[in-house]
Amino acid sequence: MDILNWDLLRYFHLVANHGSVSQAARASSVSHATVLRAINKLEDQLGSRIFDHIQSGYRLTPQGEELLIHVDSIAEEVASLERRARAQGKQPSGELRMVLPDSGITDLLSSIRAFQANYPDVTIASVDLANVSESTFMSEDIQIAFILTNSPPESLVGRQVAKINLVPYCPNGNDENWIIWGKTTEVLDAQRQAILRYGQGSVSMTMSNHEQALEAVTKGSGAALLSDKLAIGGRQESKIQVSLGLWVLTHPDLRRDISVISLMRHLSERINPSSLPESRSAVS
């Protein structure tokens, strides 16, 4: 058998984690055909099937599950080596893969452009993830993530850069139908509990982000808990609100990476320059 190429194993790892060739291709910024060829070549080299193609995507075979145990370990070591190598840099440069905050909460694009004007060798790739953890930092090769939470993952380091307050908006007087938004169970459940405390109406729509919920509200689809910074009519005087921390996080191996730390500091200051945010052993 030929020596297994890491690229083949990396694509296998992505498909195994995403359950889809298309999603693995998007995560690695290559074509669907490239990933599929890699999987077929790996199966040829191993002499066995590692995936079953089912209606919902790709499912590991018993041989694939056994291979994944070993590849998980290799991927963790490779990611750790890459993170440590990045940390040796003296000037911000290279690609930074980021989970950006909802633009309805805070829009960082102008701040990112300002950072890149000072450091033109830095490129930014936005990654869309529902859940952020140490394992997703590794599997998705993420360097920085902004998340709304009151319980950030203990395995990551970072700081709270803002407190986001969500309050009821109902410009059309329709508080029988509520629209909730978000990608994590914590954010969605916090809104559901607040609506229960409000005692009027029930959830009729779920949107993936703040912007979609705002659009639905302005078009008369119902009420929603939205940022208290919005300059729109229809804000309800109410005792209920949802308060969530906006955290910027990175992997512990990257806490001395000059590119990561420089961008984290820059964006944190742009979001809330006068605050002294809660920190979790990331940057000072």
Model confidence at 283: pLDDT above 50: no
On whether residue 1 sits in a domain, the answer given is no
pLDDT digits (tens, 9 = 90+) for 106-147: 888 889 999 999 899 999 998 887 777 777 776 678 899 999
Return d(Cα 245, Cα 159) in angstroms, integer: 10
Answer yes or no: do 40 and 108 share one domain.
no
137 shares a domain with 207:
yes
In this structure, the answer to whether residues 166 and 258 fall within a common structural domain is yes
Which residues are bridge partners to 57 per DSSP? 54
Six-digit token pair at 5? 């190429």
On whether residue 261 sits in a domain, the answer given is yes
Q: Is pLDDT of 279 > 70?
A: no
Give the three-class secondary structure for 107: coil
- Residue 80 identity (one-letter amino acid): S
Q: Are 101 and 177 in the same domain?
A: yes
In the numeric block, which tokens belong to residue 11?
Answer: 């694509």
- From residue 82, alpha-carbon distances to 12, 13, 44, 158, 279 in Å are 19, 17, 29, 20, 25
The verdict on 194 and 246 lying in the same domain is yes
- Quick one: pLDDT at residue 272? 65
Q: What is the per-residue pLDDT for 284?
A: 40
- Cα separation, 246 vs 159, in Å, equals 9
Range(s) of the domain holding residue 44: 6-86
Mean pLDDT of the chain: 84
Higher pLDDT, 83 or 13: 13
Residue 73 pLDDT grade (very low, low, confident, very high; cuts 50, 70, 90): confident
Confidence of residue 17 (pLDDT cuts 50, 70, 90): confident
Can you tell me the distance from the alpha carbon of 85 to that of 90, in angstroms, rounded to the nearest whole number?
Answer: 11
The confidence score (pLDDT) of residue 282 equals 47
Q: What is the pLDDT of residues 150-206, one digit of tens each?
A: 999 988 999 999 999 999 998 888 889 999 999 899 999 999 999 998 888 899 999
**Residue 56 maps to a domain:** yes
Closest listed residue to residue 203, CA positions, set 212, 194, 229: 194
145: in domain: yes
Q: What is the pLDDT of residue 7?
A: 81
Q: Would residue 73 count as lying in a domain?
A: yes
CB 247 within 8 A of CB 156: no
Q: Assign residue 55 the CATH number of its domain.
A: 1.10.10.10
Percent of the chain whose pLDDT exceeds 90:
37
Residue 57 located in a structural domain: yes
Instruction: Give the per-residue pLDDT at 186.
Output: 94
Q: Does any domain span residue 242?
A: yes
Do residues 37 and 103 both lie within one domain? no
pLDDT reported for residue 239? 67
Question: Can you tell me the distance from the alpha carbon of 153 to that of 151, in angstroms, rounded to the nearest whole number?
Answer: 6
Whether residues 215 and 143 fall in one domain = yes
We report the CATH number of the domain holding residue 254 as 3.40.190.290
**Residues 6+ positions from 252 with CB-CB distance below 8 Å:** 155, 156, 157, 281
Q: Given a cut of 90, is residue 237 above it in pLDDT?
A: no
95 lies in a domain?
Answer: yes
95 and 233 inside one domain: yes
Dmax over CA atoms of the chain, in Å, equals 70
Model confidence pLDDT, tens digit, residues 80-112: 766 665 556 667 888 999 999 888 888 888 899
What is each CA distance from 138 to 132, 144, 251, in whole angstroms?
10, 12, 9
Q: Do residues 197 and 233 share a domain? A: yes
* Residue 59 scores a pLDDT above 70: yes
Count how many domains the chain has: 2
The one-letter amino acid at 212: Q
Same domain, 58 and 172: no
Instruction: Tell which of 27, 58, 86 closes a domain.
Output: 86
86, 103, 118 - which closes a domain? 86
- Structural domain ending residue among the three candidates 29, 61, 86: 86
Q: Are residues 74 and 96 in the same domain?
A: no
Together in a domain, 275 and 153: yes
pLDDT given at position 177? 93
